[in-house]
């Protein structure tokens, strides 16, 4: 009986932590997907020779939950104008 109570007590402590972790993970995944969507929009805008500040303002309106920064918008527009086709991040050094 005592081990059952200990197990239940442990569950009441660990479950909220687990749910919090899962919630944070889901937000991260949503943000990663949102960033990829925004890059696809920027790829289209780059073909239409749009200014970075105008693109940034439109992204802010279209993605109110969180849009790319001005400097990130300028970076991706430059990459797309130079012929980049992918909306994925470049691999970081040291990653497999």
Predicted pLDDT of residue 38: 93
CB-facing half-sphere around the CA of 91: CA atoms within 13 A: 4
The number of beta carbons lying within 10 Å of the beta carbon of residue 66 is 13
Return the domain boundaries, the chain: 2-81
Q: Which residues of 32-54 are buried (b: 16+ CB within 10 A; e: fewer)?
A: eeebeebbebbbebbeeebebee
Q: pLDDT digits over 18-42, tens only? A: 666 655 554 455 587 888 899 999 9
- Given a cut of 60, is residue 2 above it in pLDDT? yes
Contact at 8 Å (CB) between 53 and 70? yes
- Assign 91 a pLDDT band (cuts: 50, 70, 90): confident
Which of the pair, 1 or 51, is modelled with greater confidence?
A: 51
Predicted pLDDT of residue 8: 73
Predicted pLDDT of residue 25: 53
The C-alpha atoms of residue 64 and residue 5 are separated, in whole angstroms, by 46
């Amino acid at each position: 009986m005592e081990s059952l109570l200990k197990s239940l007590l442990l569950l009441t402590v660990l479950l909220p932590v687990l749910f919090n972790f899962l919630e944070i993970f889901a937000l991260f995944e949503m943000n990663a997907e949102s960033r990829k969507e925004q890059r696809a929009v920027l790829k289209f805008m780059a073909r239409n020779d749009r200014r970075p500040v105008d693109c940034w303002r439109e992204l802010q309106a279209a993605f109110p939950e969180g849009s790319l920064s001005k400097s990130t918008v300028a970076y991706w527009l430059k990459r797309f104008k130079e012929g980049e086709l992918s909306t994925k991040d470049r691999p970081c050094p040291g990653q497999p």
